[in-house]
């Protein structure tokens, strides 16, 4: 899996006492629902989130994000996988999670880490990065407790496309009418069974710009990982690894053609089908080409 190549910086985001105190004192996000516009995720945090989500497979996994706040942005330094499994109807934190969180914060403090928990992440296996009704409810509660961000990652689409499918979101306060021209939620392919929920929630939250950076520690960790993983990369096939996701895509397209679980007028179904087919083609073609190439190099003598 390739890590995103844009916006990586060899820069260590250091804890700044003044910035942190200024933010705590003025709490600017409480007066401006759109105050936060960016999330910067460290390489190691991104890797941990994606690996956790990929290991979870069909199960929706969940974890916490630790980091810092700078003006208008969250800096995510680390990810903390939580020992719970979720479904889209239950990805909320319970008592066990709260206890785990407290232990994490205490041990972080002992080793001199200055980061706080500034958000949570969870996975949407195969159904894209957006916020469901339950996600919006959970995030709204979290935002009442402080500056908090929600990250959603799709492990299936990440593995299929080789590009990390990730989205960062914050909800609006109840009763807030978002500006019309923000264009926050551009078209993404949503499985037919999820379209209703996606449409209903679209005006409850907005998407933050996500970028990535490498700290000095990240560079060392990534180099070690790259040394260990190149043989795996050579010997696996994306077609085989992602077979269940590709099957799911085919089933979705059949549903769109036959009209079962239809999503509206014929015209919009056709547009959706065209977009879904193009997406499937763009993901499956490179996998097929690589598969043939590896077969020619390693199998056929
Ligand atoms: Zn969700």
pLDDT of residue 246: 78
How many structural domains are present in the chain? 2
The residue among 191 and 66 whose pLDDT is bigger is 66
Q: Assess whether 157 and 258 both reside in one domain.
A: no
Q: Are residues 123 and 178 in the same domain?
A: yes
Distance between Cα 121 and ligand 1 center (Å): 9
**Ligand 1 centroid, distance to 41 Cα (angstroms):** 19
CA of 122 to the centre of ligand 1 (A): 7
Rounded Cα distance, 117 and 108, in Å: 11
Please report the pLDDT score of residue 8 as a whole number. 41
Examine the fold and report which residue of 216, 251, 274 is the final residue of a domain before the chain moves on: 216
Report yes or no on 229 lying in a domain: no
Is 66 found in the same domain as 128?
A: yes
Q: Would 230 be classed as within a structural domain? A: no
Residues 210 and 259 in one domain: no
Same domain, 240 and 192: no
Residues 243 and 179 in one domain: no
* Distance, CA of 185 to CA of 281 (rounded, Å): 23
**Mean pLDDT for the chain?**
77
How much distance in Å is there from the Cα of 142 to the middle of ligand 1? 15
Q: Is residue 223 part of a domain?
A: no
Query: Within this chain, do residues 89 and 205 fall inside the same structural domain, yes or no?
Result: yes
Q: What is the pLDDT of residue 139?
A: 93
- State the pLDDT confidence band at 39, using cuts at 50, 70 and 90: very high
Q: Tell me how far the alpha carbon of residue 94 lies from the centroid of ligand 1, in angstroms.
A: 16
Q: Does 197 lie in the same domain as 119?
A: yes
**Claim to verify: residue 83 and residue 142 sit in the same structural domain:** yes
Nearest CA-CA partner of 242 in 299, 284, 298: 284
Query: What angle do the packed helices 243-258 and 266-294 form, to 10 degrees?
Result: 150
Q: Is residue 27 part of a domain?
A: yes
Asked if residue 3 is part of any domain, the answer here is no
CATH, residue 173? 3.40.140.10
Say yes or no: 14 and 92 in one domain.
Answer: yes
Q: 74 CA to middle of ligand 1, Å?
A: 20
Question: Is residue 259 domain-resident?
Answer: yes
CA 91 – ligand 1 centroid, Å: 7
Of residues 44 and 181, more confidence is placed in: 44
Interval between CA 209 and ligand 1 midpoint (Å): 19
Domain that holds residue 245: 236-299
Residue 184 and residue 39 in one domain? yes
Residues 105, 137, single domain; the answer is: yes
- Expressed in angstroms and rounded, the spacing between residue 220 Cα and the centre of ligand 1 is 32
How far is the centre of ligand 1, averaged over its atoms, from the C-alpha of 124 (Å)? 6
Q: Quick check: 170 and 150 in contact, CB under 8 A?
A: yes
Round to whole Å and give the CA distance between 294 and 268: 39
Residue-wise pLDDT for 127-143, tens only, equals 889 999 999 998 999 89
Whether residue 242 has pLDDT greater than 80: no
Residue 90 has pLDDT above 70, yes or no: no
Does the pTM of the predicted model rise above 0.85? no
């Amino acid at each position: 899996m390739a890590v995103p190549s844009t916006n990586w910086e060899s820069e260590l985001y250091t804890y700044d006492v003044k910035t942190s105190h200024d933010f705590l004192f003025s709490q600017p996000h409480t007066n401006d629902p759109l105050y936060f516009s960016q999330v910067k995720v460290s390489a190691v945090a991104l890797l941990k989130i994606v690996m956790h989500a990929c290991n979870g497979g069909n199960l929706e996994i969940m974890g916490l994000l630790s980091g810092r706040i700078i003006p208008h942005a969250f800096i995510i330094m680390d990810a903390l996988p939580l020992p719970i499994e979720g479904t889209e109807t239950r990805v909320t934190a319970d008592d066990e999670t709260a206890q785990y969180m407290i232990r994490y914060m205490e041990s972080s403090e002992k080793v001199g880490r200055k980061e706080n928990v500034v958000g949570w992440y969870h996975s949407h296996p195969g159904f894209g990065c957006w916020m469901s009704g339950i996600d919006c409810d959970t995030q709204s509660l979290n935002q009442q407790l402080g500056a908090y961000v929600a990250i959603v990652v799709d492990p299936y689409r990440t593995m299929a496309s080789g590009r990390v499918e990730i989205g960062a979101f914050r909800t609006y306060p109840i009763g807030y009418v978002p500006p019309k021209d923000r264009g926050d939620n551009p078209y993404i392919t949503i499985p037919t069974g999820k379209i209703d929920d996606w449409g209903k929630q679209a005006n409850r939250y907005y998407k933050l710009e996500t970028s990535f950076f490498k700290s000095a520690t990240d560079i060392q960790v990534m180099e070690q990982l790259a040394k260990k993983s190149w043989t795996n990369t050579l010997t696996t096939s994306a077609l085989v690894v992602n077979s269940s996701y590709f099957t799911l895509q085919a089933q979705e397209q059949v549903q769109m053609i036959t009209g079962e679980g239809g999503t509206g007028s014929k015209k919009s179904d056709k547009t959706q089908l065209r977009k879904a087919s193009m997406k499937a083609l763009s993901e499956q073609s490179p996998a097929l080409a690589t598969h043939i190439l590896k077969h020619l190099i390693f199998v056929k003598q």
